[in-house]
Amino acid sequence: MASSFYRVLLLVGFCAPMFCTSSNPYNRESPHPPSMKSNAASQVSPSNTRFAFFLYQRLAQENPGQNLLFSPVSISTSLAMLSLGARSDTKTQILRSLGFNVTHVPEPTIHLGFEHLVRSLNEYHRGRDLRMGSVLFIRKDLQLQAKFLNRVKKLYGTKVFSEDFSNAVTAQSQINSYVEKETKGKVVDVIQDLDSQTAMVLVNHIFFKANWTQPFSAANTNKSFPFLLSKGTTVHVPMMHQTELFGFGVDRELGCSVLQMDYRGDAMAFFILPGKGKMRQLEKGLSARRLRKWSRSLQKRWIKVFIPKFSISASYNLETILPKMGIRDAFNSNADFSGITKTHFLQVSKAAHKAVLDVSEEGTEAAAATTTKLIVRSRDDPSSIIAFKEPFLILLLDKNTESILFLGKVENPRKM
């Protein structure tokens, strides 16, 4: 039976965030972007955040001492979209692993929430370029269920292309070229093992480009500043610095300092610096509740900030990770994707994810949290300094949807 299954290749989260000014020519300006508080996207945001930290903790466990970077919202959206064509336990496992209980949140509400989320993220915001999209490359002889095709187009704005997978080399080249174009050249050759058994490739890509509201001066960047790696060795990195009003607090429960910096265009970043020996404690304590507390409790204050200028990237084969998070049947012969097609048996053979992140002088923005005991140092203290000269976490968030666009750990700013 297993030999009769065709492969589905799930390529998610090809992310290319860069921090520099740009308008978005792909989206029309909306004078009143939808608020997360007032639309159906509020039904999916908490679950997406829980899934983000659940996945982060799994990746951190399996990649100790390495840079981590991924796009939670891209992966969640891809899996939710795939669930449209799943049935029985395959569907249940996907939605449950995404943090949804369909007895409390009906499935139509979940997909309506993602529809609003995708639409909101693609709204035009002056000063930033944020695009997220999905595309299906379908085997020419694969007859799709009309309902599935209509729903992925309507709810997720998915583009659909017919592809000749019998010529795997040509198909691979065409899909790689599409991804490279959509990420403006940041992600290349993402597929390297396409074969003729592939029946469908689902790609979700996200591109982010924005400026800090309080940019650093390149003239002040220290070209060679010591950064202490977790292994105890030191590398020298370009270190940006400035003194400015930023959201800041100390979370004593997790033993970390939290800095909030804002981007133009309703986006923000949290830089989280654990105390000595507290990285594992911080990682284990990450949660949607903790993020809400930070978002409500940080206070603006004058502070001298040192942040390395860096570029990092990371790639993951999620087919080895997602089954450990509960999505098992999608990747084996028990897969039930009869909602996609009834003429072929489908199972997911690969779920690839690649992310790229550049941080430089031009960009940043912020947000904060409450209820946790966050300590803010005296505003009159001229010695308020936070220096990210050891491994730290970074979260990039969209304010309107309260979605984590990118989540990562910088273990070594010199390692691409």
Report how far residue 287's alpha carbon sits from residue 269's, in angstroms, rounded to the nearest whole number: 16
What value does the mean pLDDT take over residues 224-237? 96
What is the total residue count of the chain? 416
Query: What does the pLDDT read at residue 222?
Result: 95
Query: What does the pLDDT read at residue 8?
Result: 62
**Mean pLDDT, rounded, of the chain:** 83
- Is residue 365's pLDDT more than 60? no
Using pLDDT thresholds of 50, 70 and 90, give the confidence band for residue 29. Answer: very low
Query: What does the pLDDT read at residue 364?
Result: 31
Nearest to 243 by CA among 369, 357, 128, 381: 381
Query: What does the pLDDT read at residue 368?
Result: 19
Under DSSP, is residue 121 helix (H, G, I), strand (E, B) or coil? helix
Query: What does the pLDDT read at residue 358?
Result: 82
Are 133 and 204 in contact by the 8 Å Cβ rule? The answer is: yes
- For residue 38, give every residue at least 6 positions away whose Cβ sits within 8 Å of its Cβ, in sequence order, or none: none
pLDDT in tens, 291-339: 999 999 999 999 999 999 988 888 888 889 999 999 999 988 899 999 9
What value does the mean pLDDT take over residues 171-187? 84
Using pLDDT thresholds of 50, 70 and 90, give the confidence band for residue 32. Answer: very low
> What is the reported pTM?
0.87
What value does the mean pLDDT take over residues 21-45? 46
Query: What does the pLDDT read at residue 376?
Result: 34
Cα separation values, 391 from 238, 288, 307, Å: 15, 22, 11
- For residue 22, give every residue at least 6 positions away whose Cβ sits within 8 Å of its Cβ, in sequence order, or none: 128, 129, 209, 210
Using pLDDT thresholds of 50, 70 and 90, give the confidence band for residue 257. Answer: very high
- Is residue 200's pLDDT more than 90? no
Using pLDDT thresholds of 50, 70 and 90, give the confidence band for residue 30. Answer: very low
Query: What does the pLDDT read at residue 373?
Result: 25
Using pLDDT thresholds of 50, 70 and 90, give the confidence band for residue 243. Answer: very high
What value does the mean pLDDT take over residues 76-104? 93
Under DSSP, is residue 86 helix (H, G, I), strand (E, B) or coil? coil
The correct answer on CATH 3.10.20.30 for the domain covering 2-210+312-359 is no
Using pLDDT thresholds of 50, 70 and 90, give the confidence band for residue 375. Answer: very low
- Is residue 78's pLDDT more than 70? yes
What value does the mean pLDDT take over residues 49-74? 94
Using pLDDT thresholds of 50, 70 and 90, give the confidence band for residue 40. Answer: low
- Is residue 383's pLDDT more than 80? no
- For residue 9, give every residue at least 6 positions away whose Cβ sits within 8 Å of its Cβ, in sequence order, or none: 191, 194, 198, 200, 201, 202, 348, 349, 350, 351, 352
More confident call, 200 vs 372 = 200
- For residue 183, give every residue at least 6 positions away whose Cβ sits within 8 Å of its Cβ, in sequence order, or none: 14, 15, 16, 205, 207, 356
Cα separation values, 186 from 17, 168, 264, 356, Å: 9, 23, 22, 7
More confident call, 104 vs 86 = 86
What value does the mean pLDDT take over residues 36-41? 51
Q: Percentage of residues in the chain with pLDDT exceeding 90?
A: 51
Using pLDDT thresholds of 50, 70 and 90, give the confidence band for residue 99. Answer: very high
Q: Out of 32-36, 350-354, 373-377, 405-409, which region has the weakest mean confidence (pLDDT)?
A: 373-377
Using pLDDT thresholds of 50, 70 and 90, give the confidence band for residue 379. Answer: very low
What value does the mean pLDDT take over residues 83-102? 94
- Is residue 233's pLDDT more than 90? yes
Sequence letter at residue 271:
F
Report how far residue 207's alpha carbon sits from residue 20's, in angstroms, rounded to the nearest whole number: 13
Provide the residue ranges of all domains of the chain, joining segments of one domain with +.
Answer: 2-210+312-359, 218-308+364-410
Cα separation values, 135 from 124, 156, 374, 409, Å: 21, 9, 43, 29
Query: What does the pLDDT read at residue 206?
Result: 81
Sign of CA dihedral 49, 52, 55, 59: negative
CATH code of the domain occupying 218-308+364-410: 2.30.39.10
What value does the mean pLDDT take over residues 258-262? 95
